[in-house]
Amino acid sequence: MKRKKWKIHAKQTAALAMAFTLMISGAASAAPIPPDGSGTGQTAQGGNQTSQGGGQNGQQATGPAGPGSGAGNSGSASRLPSLSGTVSTSQSSQTSQNSAQTGSQGSSQAAVPQIKAEGAVLYDATRDQALYEKNADTRYYPASITKIMTALLVLEHCNLNDTVTFSQTAVTNLESGAVTLGVQAGDQFTVEQCLYGLLLKSANEIANGLAEHVSGSISGFADLMNQKAASLGCTNTHFVNPNGLNDSNHYTTARDMALIADAAFSNPTLCKIASTVNYDFPATASVPSVRKLTMGHKMVNPANSEYYSGIVGGKTGYTSLAGNTLVTCAERNGTRLVAVILKSRQTHYADTRALLDYGFSLVQSGGSGSGTGGPGGGPGSQQGPGGGSASSNPHWVEDSRGWRFVKADGSYAANECMEINGEIYCFKPDSYIVSNDWYQIGGIWYFFRPSGGLAKSRWIETGGKWYYVDGNGSLFTNGTTPDGYRVDADGVWIQ
């Protein structure tokens, strides 16, 4: 299957991937690579920054545009933009409801699911678009779904009949309570046998042994993982180990994980292993009997009540910090969907089933998503005013200049910020959203992602300088960022 990315992010994604690859190779070592050599961040367009004074009377910024022009906020000023309203668009009526998340596709489409996990994405890999997003760009711990990337890299660098010899480091570099197969130093298995142990049992020492076999060390393999993630278009992912055990610098997003999973499940060998229900793992001197492995992903097993027909493959994950995580790839009638669930509290199977049901129903009815509606979810299909079949209010509309939002009273949002389906958007006086740009509101600079949503807790590169926005989205100034970098009074990283 051809490698694809969300169309709405293609240009930015390609640029970021190239930049991050250079960073990893050392060709761009001058910039901070947040938070620990990951190369994650956002590259902003230059020269288009605007200022919205106090949430009213938006105007072009004077002088050098954007942060760093002397207009930065003080180190103590951090707050979310003032909101004029909070709206959730529903699929059928487009009225304001707190829990609904959808684009305006018409009443004939499937109802948008109510996902309980903190982060989720449903990606239509066949048509290259997101059908549902919830906190798609928020960092979460992935836990053992990390092993999808590990398996993909192993298959790209090894033969299945290669022999893996386990070192003492591989079998002991684990945290207490980690899932293992009891492999001992000196044990030998083929790459193929190891991959079954990795994806069915989720054995953590198997991940370590494979990583050392490919790269010679865990850290070397982590570098390879990060390079691969960047090449796939991931912009907010950083790996430090091949197994997903807890580490503050090991994280991903639902959007990035969907890209990784799409690439992984394009490999037929990985699909075969990740959809296998049972496997006999060979005996060793330390464990003289064959170990019967059963796939941990319950939706793969026809004998399990969670079974779902059409599963191509998947991987489970859990740690105390990550909660339940789940990646699932399913295909029906020529449509392949990838569902990613992050930070769930035991609702991961129900959430995944709801997403897949929604996606297949949406495709069957001719809908095109997105689950967040409007910007950030791929092209919308609703028509604007005068289009003859415009959806009920409120709803998103798109034209050649960008995205606008029609409020319940029929007017366009303008010169204000609103929370829509859980994302904060800012609308300029001409009613178009701010996207991939800085915007000043009430004396504080904020950055809005290419999708239009407010960026939080990430680095932004503008004009060759690096800036950090905090958990409220505010430009961080005159202090030390959470990942240990100093920035000056204008928010510029001090090299």
Tell me the catalytic residues: 144, 147, 202
Q: Which two tokens stand for residue 480?
A: 């030390």
Q: Which two tokens stand for residue 124?
A: 């239509």
Residue 369 sits at the vertex; the CA angle it makes with 364 and 371, to the nearest 5 degrees, is 125
Q: Which two tokens stand for residue 2?
A: 């051809």
Q: Which two tokens stand for residue 453?
A: 């949503």
Among 26, 3, 309, 290, which Cα is nearest to 128's?
3
Which ranges in 131-253 belong to alpha helices (H)? Answer: 146-157, 168-172, 191-196, 204-215, 218-231
**Bond before 370 cis per omega within 30 degrees:** yes
Distance of alpha carbon 144 from alpha carbon 142, whole angstroms: 6
Check residue 198 and report its DSSP letter.
I
Distances (CA, A) of 355 to 301, 327, 348, 382, 398: 19, 12, 10, 22, 25
Handedness of CA 246, 251, 253, 254 (dihedral sign): negative
Among 319, 306, 392, which Cα is nearest to 354's?
306
Pairing of strands 437-441, 50-52: parallel
| 3-state SS class at 336 | strand
Percent of the chain that is helix, strand, coil (3-state, to 5): 25, 25, 50
Read off φ and ψ for residue 484, nearest 5 degrees. Answer: 95, 15
Do residues 227 and 24 touch, judged by C-beta distance below 8 A? yes
Beta carbons within 10 angstroms of residue 305's beta carbon: 7
Name 110's Cβ contacts closer than 8 Å, sequence gap at least 6.
91, 357, 358, 361, 362, 365, 367
Distance of alpha carbon 333 from alpha carbon 310, whole angstroms: 9
Q: Which two tokens stand for residue 179?
A: 């899932």
Do residues 294 and 278 touch, judged by C-beta distance below 8 A? yes
